[in-house]
Structure 1
Amino acid sequence: MSDDSEQTLPRVLIIDDSRMVRASIIRHIRDRFEVREEADGEAGWQTLMVDPTIQAVITDIGMPNLDGYGLLERIRGSRISRINTLPVVVISGDDEPDVRVRAKSAGATDFISKSIGNVELLARLEALTQLARTQRDLEESRAALASASPVDPTSGLATPSYLHYHAAQELSLAQRRHADVSVMVIEIDHFDALVARYGAHVAQLVNRKLSKILATKLRQEDTVAELAPARFAVVSPSTNMDGACAFAMRLRAAFDHIVMTYREERIRIQITIGLAATTPGKVQTVSHLIGVAMERIASGRAAGGNRVIGADGEVTADMIEPPARAPVSIDQILARLRTTGLDANLRKQLPDAIRTLLPLLELIESEIPSGLPLAALARAAETGVNMLQKND
């Protein structure tokens, strides 16, 4: 896979005393898996102890030093979780029922014949490695939740639980301040087809590419989590439907320029985005907003994908007006003001800062009447006039 990612193919350990058998298996799977090989069970066990990147084992039964049954006993009895949970496929020329039963009883995940075709062998290996990876990810996510960590250890994004918790706080705050909150659900188009055509490892690289881009494109106050493979949710405070539409269109356009390659084949990534936003005066939950965004994704998917769907249907570029953009980060502006002072770039952001702060200033004026020049500030935000710029 040609990408800036450091990810590699899943690694499989093949253990068989026949060099020809090992070479045959490697020939079948080398396009989808990295391979290590050993000639007996004892050597295979030592390799498992020192190589934590192995994700599955293919082993023969009859081998010198340590046979397949003994190897299975060691693997399943190991106190190291990454070893005792490994998928182990027994591959044997002896397909007698008692051999199969004994291998299963010893802890074999699967049992296949040495005459198996390469398509079936690949399918079984990919299914087993994907299952093992999912189980590890689930265990790591559970560990993160148990330690009260808001970050998913696999994706580096917020956990879904934290997203719901934090979004509920933002919604409560927005209701008190009469502010907006938007929810964006992003889905990679035709993800199942990617898995079927290129394999699970390539699809995962695409999924991780989207994770990295989201982590760099969002504002500090936004929260993003991976809800499921190929599906992400973003909660944006102080952002109405217009602002969400504008950001979603920019994000979708960014993906139109991304091309990944696999075995000299170009893979284009496209996404469909569903949007939902709070309604003034109406109490709404995070789950409801995500559900609305998911329904809009479904309509975008039915229309062919690569679309942004908002409250009024598909969002197009001509519907986005320049003022309809996400609010700036006041925290970032204040930090820059403290470090660099009021420079030319900061002056250009003042109309956006006014637009972001206006709901709060209106609330302050309603609670504590003090003669704030709200009308003048609103005009400055709309016309782009810099209130602090001195006349020459």
Structure 2
Amino acid sequence: MSSEINASLPRVLIIDDSRMVRASLIKQIRDKFDVREEADGEAGWQALLLDPTIEVVISDIGMPRLDGFGLLQRIRGSRLSRVNSLPVLIISGEDEEDARLKAQALGATDFINKGTPRVELLARIEALAKLAQTRRELEESREQLVKRNRGDVSVMVIQVDFYEKLCEQYGHSVGQLIHRKLSKLLSAKVRKEDTIAHLAEGQFAVISPSADLDACGAFALRLRRAIETIVMTYKEARIRVSLTIGLASAKGDPTMTLEHLLGLAAQRVAEGTTLGGNRVVSDSGEVTADNVGRFSRLAVSVDHALTQLRSGTREEPKKRLRELIHTLMPLMEMIEDEFRVGMPLMELAEKAQLTSLEMGTTSTVGATSTLGSRTVWRT
């Protein structure tokens, strides 16, 4: 029975040359994770190559044969996608800033100290396991997604500006709070047919089928404005957060892979960050309110609406009826040209445009979060 339960749990690889440290970590997490342990970096590397079920790596720094830094370099340099994308949590006995910075530079996903409270340790590992699952699902579905939509897929990579500096200045817990706030905001704003992927701390991707760059640009500008309205206070400091968002689209090209789109969008985030951040960047440069389509918007899924109607559910399609009109307008224009049945296209178009305009000016209602007794989100 216990082996069946463990098989259903995410597998974590713990690498540390101290048997006591490994035993302590295992004791803290064994009810939530299936654990494999190794005593040095070289043995840990061999385990990664042979065991495809490992989802998260927890590694010490100072170890014989191969230390944590060397292991990180091998993982990030691996040609196996399942290995080079694994979340890696570096754990150390001392809070050494130089070690933390070196680990981040080599691609560590997170960094904590030995002796971290169990609740925080579990929260960190659970977040990394979820990241691994998201990436795996994204990897498995990316080609099918592009082919299913005949290349009509757009990608947004969303980065909290200067996230690492925010963590250094105010603490990692504040950075995590910012990350959770952005995650919650994204979940509330994207369509059901969109996919949100957690790429790293402070960084997300949104994959949108049946959406062009103008539509994504309009959404990105609204999202950026929503984040700008948030002010966080922490120990008398007022913290404002901004976003840099990179856009990429397959533009109807079915040979364009999702991996390539994510790379292009990430490159445009880097361009925007170099210019100072707080920007939306597409293939033609910076996107602003002046050069994005006035009524651009993400098209709703007609298939999803039809599925709901066939199952007898009318509530959600009714709420998005004008959006569906906007999406179906080109098809209805072709039907009218062919059959001349007198469809009220002008009136329908006016209603669809009105809805788009309303969405472009809708303000975002902020939530309130707390960190101890000194941190408050305000909008």
Question: d(CA) in 2 for partners of 1:375 and 1:166?
Answer: 42
Q: Which residue of structure 1 lines up, in the alignment, with residue 164 of structure 2?
A: 192
Q: Which residue of structure 2 lines up, in the alignment, with residue 265 of structure 1?
A: 237
Q: How does 1:5-24 map to 2 (within 5 A)?
A: none
Instruction: Assess if the C-alpha contact under 8 Å between 2:161 and 2:241 holds in 1.
Output: yes
- 1:313 aligned to 258, 266, 285, which one? 285
Q: Which residue of structure 1 lines up, in the alignment, with residue 7 of structure 2?
A: none
Report whether the alignment pairs 1:160 with 2:135.
yes
Shift of 1:167: 3.4
Amino acid at match of 1:130: F
Q: How does 1:86-165 map to 2 (within 5 A)?
A: 123=96, 130-131=111-112, 140=126, 154=130, 159-165=134-140
Report whether the alignment pairs 1:174 with 2:141.
no
Shift of 1:73: 7.2
Question: d(CA) in 1 for partners of 2:147 and 2:253?
Answer: 12
Instruction: Assess if the C-alpha contact under 8 Å between 2:152 and 2:253 holds in 1.
Output: no
- 2:225 aligned to 238, 248, 253, which one? 253
Q: Which residue of structure 1 lines up, in the alignment, with residue 202 of structure 2?
A: 230
CA offsets, 1:230-286, max 9 Å, x none? Answer: 111100111111110110011000000111121121111110000011123452000
- 2:261 aligned to 269, 272, 289, which one? 289
Please state whether the residue corresponding to 1:80 is helix, strand or coil.
helix
CA offsets, 1:298-357, max 9 Å, x none? Answer: 111111100111221111112234421112354368758955679xx948x544313323
Structure 1 unmatched ranges of 5 or more: 1-71, 86-103, 110-119, 142-151, 387-392
Question: d(CA) in 2 for partners of 1:245 and 1:285?
Answer: 20
CA offsets, 1:97-149, max 9 Å, x none? Answer: xxxxxxx99xxx9xxxxxxxxxx9754699599336899678657xxxxxxxx
Question: d(CA) in 1 for partners of 2:352 and 2:180?
Answer: 42
Aligned length: 265
Question: d(CA) in 2 for partners of 1:375 and 1:279?
Answer: 33
Instruction: Assess if the C-alpha contact under 8 Å between 1:351 and 1:380 holds in 2.
Output: no
Q: Which residue of structure 1 lines up, in the alignment, with residue 214 of structure 2?
A: 242
Instruction: Assess if the C-alpha contact under 8 Å between 2:323 and 2:352 holds in 1.
Output: no
Question: d(CA) in 1 for partners of 2:350 and 2:133?
Answer: 37
Shift of 1:174: 1.4
Shift in CA distance, 237/73, structure 1 to aligned 2, threshold 3 Å? closer
Q: Which residue of structure 2 lines up, in the alignment, with residue 221 of structure 1?
A: 193
Amino acid at match of 1:309: V
Identity of aligned residues (%): 35
Shift in CA distance, 376/234, structure 1 to aligned 2, threshold 3 Å? same
Shift of 1:159: 0.6
Instruction: Assess if the C-alpha contact under 8 Å between 2:272 and 2:278 holds in 1.
Output: yes
- 2:249 aligned to 277, 284, 301, which one? 277
- 2:326 aligned to 328, 332, 355, which one? 355
Amino acid at match of 1:316: T
Please state whether the residue corresponding to 2:296 is helix, strand or coil.
coil
Amino acid at match of 1:131: I
Shift in CA distance, 356/318, structure 1 to aligned 2, threshold 3 Å? same
Instruction: Assess if the C-alpha contact under 8 Å between 1:252 and 1:271 holds in 2.
Output: yes
CA offsets, 1:183-223, max 9 Å, x none? Answer: 00000001121122112222122112211211111111110
Question: d(CA) in 2 for partners of 1:187 and 1:131?
Answer: 22
Instruction: Assess if the C-alpha contact under 8 Å between 1:158 and 1:223 holds in 2.
Output: no
Q: Which residue of structure 1 lines up, in the alignment, with residue 27 of structure 2?
A: 80
Shift in CA distance, 139/236, structure 1 to aligned 2, threshold 3 Å? same
Report whether the alignment pairs 1:383 with 2:350.
yes
Question: d(CA) in 1 for partners of 2:274 and 2:186?
Answer: 24
Question: d(CA) in 2 for partners of 1:326 and 1:376?
Answer: 24
